[in-house]
Structure 1
Amino acid sequence: MLRAVLFDVDFTLSRPGPELGPEAYRAVGLEHGLDLDPAAYEAARLAALADLQRHPELEHDAEIWIAFTEDIVRGMGGAASAARACAVDMVRRWEVHANFSLYDDALPTLALLRARGLALGLVSNGQRDLEEFAAHHALDVDIAIGSKAHGRTKPHASIFETALAALGVTPAEAAMVGDSYEDDIEGARALGMRAILLDRDGLHPHEPDRIRDLRALPAALGLDPA
């Protein structure tokens, strides 16, 4: 019996605003004497993702995200001498709750699940205070477990176990919803949870438990539509 649903945050419930996009990199770069090319942002971001090295024990490590952002800065044409300082300033912007907006399907879906009597939680990697983030965006959830406070990142079992324990449910009574196959789906399934991949961009057409937007979640979970 389903009693709880856990959600990833970034690119599941919320997305970064223009303060974190290509033009923002250019603006912050100029503050550091760098002439960054916004047109090179996407290629630089994908290259940085390919090079991203997780902590071997999945411990939360802010330095990993600074190095990731520095790779983007360099890929956009940032000089080595100032790239790190620029990256640190960009990472700080990711800690500002107002720099994110909710997808238009986020709040209605949370409200619908709440109306069905389900417990709701957030489980996210990142530098933000997740409880403050939930309050800022009026997310009606029971718990918010962020890797910064918890100390481990998804897909480590302990971050999921902590969320489930806080909600008082077993893995078999909970589902996880997120956009990262490795972090959200594999991590939850390894613990025995049901997991639904949110594939907004249609990148995983062969994944059986996938939805294209959150409005499809209640049906995917087998909930009564009434």
Structure 2
Amino acid sequence: MGGRIAGVVFDLFGTLVPRYPIDRHRKVLAEIAALLGVDPVRFTEVWISRLERRITGFCRDAEECILDTLEAMGASADREALARAAAIRYEFMRSCVVPYPEVEEGIRALKGMGYKLGLISNSSPEVPELWRSLSLSRYFDVATFSCEVRTRKPHREIYLMTCSALGLSPELCLYVGDGSENELEGAREVGMFPVMIVRDGPLRDWDGPVVRDVMGVVELLKSMSDC
């Protein structure tokens, strides 16, 4: 194994699966608003403003997330409309949680090299079920979702609880993410070894290691083993 590293913890969106397609997300929100009979621009604004509540466990499912937004608008909807709206939201999220092509090969390689594997995701309540439905999830020893543990990156607790569940100290864990929401800085602050993944476009301002995909993580750890 690479140096003293014994575990690798991954971010989800932008790392193992693509980030949300913003334009399509807004179209989905407009479709939901039309179904519920509310102004789509206002619904989208309020939905975006309620992100923190969705990813820290204030809503148990897509239907509750939509109802939370409606209540903040002073609006309401019948149960049938809410259920249909939640189904649209769930299908959108399902289409987002699709791993990049090389991910499973890279994850299998890391597992074969003896690393413990973890996941930390700032996510809304649909994501844990969708993650667990993926064949990829079986390779992971721990998956920590902000909506389930009610704290999120870059707060130190979510990193520490994941390392603890892996049975490893933070100093023995690599953290791999695209750098959103200061996740790499948060990982570094608790003692993990942060690595930025940049899948497309120019390299960003980051003073640590950078890889282009999960196979790049495999190669990085091999090079660390050779040192």
- The TM-score, its normalising length taken from structure 1, stands at 0.69
What's the CA shift string for 1:179-201, capped at 9, x where partnerless?
23444201100001101112224
Q: Counterpart in 2 of 1:145?
A: 144
Q: Counterpart in 2 of 1:199?
A: 198
Structure 1 segment 67-146 matched on structure 2, within 5 A: 89=85, 93=89, 98-99=94-95, 100-128=97-125, 132-139=129-136, 140-146=139-145
Structure 1 alignment gaps of length 5 or more? 38-43, 71-79
Structure 1 pair 24–95 and aligned structure 2 pair: CA distance change class (3 A): closer
Q: Counterpart in 2 of 1:158?
A: 157
SS at structure 2 position matched to 1:14? coil
- The TM-score, its normalising length taken from structure 2, stands at 0.69
Structure 1 segment 206-221 matched on structure 2, within 5 A: 206-208=205-207, 209-221=209-221
The answer to whether the 8 Å contact 1:121/1:142 transfers is yes
Answer with 80-89 or 24-33: which moved more. Answer: 80-89
Aligned positions, number:
203
Structure 1 segment 2-81 matched on structure 2, within 5 A: 2-15=5-18, 16=20, 21-33=25-37, 60=56, 62=58
Q: Counterpart in 2 of 1:41?
A: none
Q: Counterpart in 2 of 1:187?
A: 186
Q: Counting helix residues as a fraction of each chain, which structure ranks higher?
A: 2
**CA–CA distance in structure 1, aligned partners of residues 134 and 28 of structure 2:** 22
Structure 1 pair 135–87 and aligned structure 2 pair: CA distance change class (3 A): same
The answer to whether the 8 Å contact 1:14/1:102 transfers is yes
SS at structure 1 position matched to 2:135? coil
State the AA in 1 paired with 2:30: R
